[in-house]
Copies of this chain bind each other. A is one copy, B any other.
Amino acid sequence: MNHEPPGRGDARVPHVVIVGGGFGGLWTTRALASADVRITLIDRRNHHLFQPLLYQVATAGLSSPDIAAPLRHILRSQRNVEVRLGEVVGLDPAARRVALADGDSIGYDYLLLASGAAHAYFGHDDWAGDAPGLKTLDDALHIRRRLLLAFERAEASDDEAERAAWLSFAVVGGGPTGVELAGTLAEIARKTLRREFRRIDPAQAKVRLIEAGPRVLSSFPEELSEKARKQLQKLGVEVVTGTPVNAIDERGYTLGDTFVPARTVVWAAGVAASKLGALLDAPRDRAGRVQVLPDLSVPGHPEIFVAGDLASVQQDGKPVPGVAPAAKQMGAHVARAIRDRIAGRSTAPFRYKDYGNLATIGRMAAVVDVHGFKLSGLLAWWFWLAAHVFFLIGFRNRVIVLINWAWAYWSYQRHARIILGDREE
Contact = CB atoms under 8 A, between A and B. Distances in A.
Interface of A: 1-2, 44-47, 63-66, 68, 70, 72-73, 76-77, 82-86, 102, 104, 136-139, 141-142, 148-149, 152, 155-158, 193, 195-199, 396, 399-400, 403-404, 407, 413, 415-423
A319 to B, nearest CB: 30
A65 B137 CA distance: 15
20 contacts: A45-B419, A45-B422, A46-B148, A46-B419, A47-B417, A65-B416, A70-B196, A70-B418, A72-B197, A73-B196, A73-B413, A77-B195, A137-B418, A138-B420, A138-B423, A141-B420, A142-B423, A396-B404, A396-B407, A400-B400
A86 B415 contact: no
Contact of A64 (B86, B157, B396, B420): B420
Nearest to A68: B418
A280 B363 CA distance: 49
A421 to B, nearest CB: 7
Minimum-distance CB pairs A-B, first 8: A138-B423, A72-B196, A65-B416, A85-B152, A63-B63, A46-B419, A82-B198, A76-B196
Contact of A418 (B47, B84, B418): B47
A404 B198 CA distance: 35
Contacts of A63: 63-66
A128 to B, nearest CB: 11
Interface centre among A72, A84, A149 (most CB of B within 10 A): A72
Contacts of A149: 85
A415 B396 contact: yes
Nearest to A80: B198
Nearest to A84: B156
Contacts of A421: 138
A108 B243 CA distance: 50
Given A63-B65, A104-B156, A138-B421, 9 more contacts: A1-B156, A47-B418, A64-B420, A65-B415, A76-B195, A83-B196, A86-B156, A139-B423, A400-B415
Contacts of A83: 196
Contacts of A407: 396
A385 B2 CA distance: 47
A86 to B, nearest CB: 7
Contacts of A158: 1-2
Contacts of A72: 193, 196-197
A117 to B, nearest CB: 17
A423 B44 CA distance: 11
B420 A70 contact: no
Nearest to A82: B198
Contacts of A2: 158
Contacts of A403: 396, 399-400, 403
Contacts of A141: 420
Nearest to A423: B138
A413 B86 CA distance: 24
A83 B193 CA distance: 13
